[in-house]
């Protein structure tokens, strides 16, 4: 038997070595997961976290893991590896998406905010139905190399640690200055008391932190993306 590790980072880039996920031959009398854990320590210099799911196909056992600092090979984005690696994709759909099959494999993976606690809190608003928009600073998107949102884009939203919570589809994107933000975007983001004043205060604080991180002062004239979306699926929910 062989044991395979579908080892993902928090944006679900897959670790490939020689074009394939990490794999090890399982010695007789050794459990597949045990063999993977030992090989990861020896060959990758890392301890595997909790497996988020597994799948056995013939003589192959597949396990999926998420780690914030994946290394030891090539990291390939989800939209690139999903169409060509059938078994990892099947495991991803079953274990990570609760069996939901996206209408396209052209998927982005991200979390709201700048750290896991805020990401979980904002994703809570999405799952509960109160958040249907988000705002991004053009300079930060460019600096970090993120895809620019566009109508029809499909995204997997995680909790900040890489665990998927829901899938969304972008329905509208507007570009404008921060100082020109409307009450519509404040209400659609579903945070705080839903007022524009509250939205401005929390977003100034957030983008000021972003500015310190990327080395660009945030100002009222900063160019923003105002994105509206709909929820396609909450993972783990029936129907």
Residue 238's pLDDT is what?
47
Residue 68's pLDDT is what?
82
Of 33, 25, 9, 17, nearest in space to 72 by CA: 17
Residue 195's pLDDT is what?
96
Query: How far, CA to CA in Å, does 74 sit from each of 18, 27, 83?
Result: 8, 27, 17
Of 177, 23, 184, 14, nearest in space to 82 by CA: 14
64: β partners: 6, 53
Residue 215's pLDDT is what?
97
User: Mean pLDDT over all residues of the chain?
Assistant: 95
d(CA 199, CA 191) in angstroms, rounded, equals: 7
CA torsion angle 16 20 22 24 (round to 10): -160
Give per-residue pLDDT as tens, 170-206: 999 999 999 999 999 999 999 999 999 999 999 999 9
Which are the contacts of 153, defined by CB distance < 8 A and separation ≥ 6? 108, 147, 169, 170
155 and 109 Cβ atoms separated by less than 8 Å = yes
Lowest-pLDDT choice from 66-70, 157-161, 205-209: 66-70
Query: Considering the chain, what percentage of its residues have pLDDT values greater than 90?
Result: 92
Give per-residue pLDDT as tens, 128-137: 999 999 999 9
């Amino acid at each position: 038997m062989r044991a395979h590790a579908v080892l993902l980072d928090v944006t679900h880039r897959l670790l490939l070595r020689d074009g394939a996920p990490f794999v090890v031959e399982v010695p007789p009398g050794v459990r597949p997961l045990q063999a993977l854990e030992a090989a990861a320590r020896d060959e990758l210099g890392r301890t595997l976290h909790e497996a988020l799911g597994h799948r056995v196909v013939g003589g192959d056992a597949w396990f999926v893991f998420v780690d914030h600092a994946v290394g030891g090979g090539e990291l390939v984005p989800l939209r690139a590896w999903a169409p060509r690696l059938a078994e990892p994709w099947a495991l991803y759909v079953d274990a990570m998406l609760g069996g939901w099959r996206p209408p396209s494999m052209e998927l982005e993976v991200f979390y709201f905010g700048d750290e896991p606690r805020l990401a979980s809190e904002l994703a809570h608003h999405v799952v509960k139905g109160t958040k249907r928009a988000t705002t991004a600073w053009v300079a930060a998107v460019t600096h970090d190399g993120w895809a620019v949102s566009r109508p029809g884009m499909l995204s997997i939203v995680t909790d900040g640690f890489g665990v998927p919570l829901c899938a969304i589809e972008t329905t509208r994107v507007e570009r404008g200055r921060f100082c020109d933000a409307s009450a519509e975007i404040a209400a659609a983001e579903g945070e705080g008391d839903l007022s524009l004043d509250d939205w401005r205060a929390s977003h100034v604080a957030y983008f000021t932190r972003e500015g310190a991180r990327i080395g660009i002062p945030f100002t009222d004239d900063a160019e923003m993306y105002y994105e509206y979306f709909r929820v396609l699926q909450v993972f783990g929910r029936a129907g």
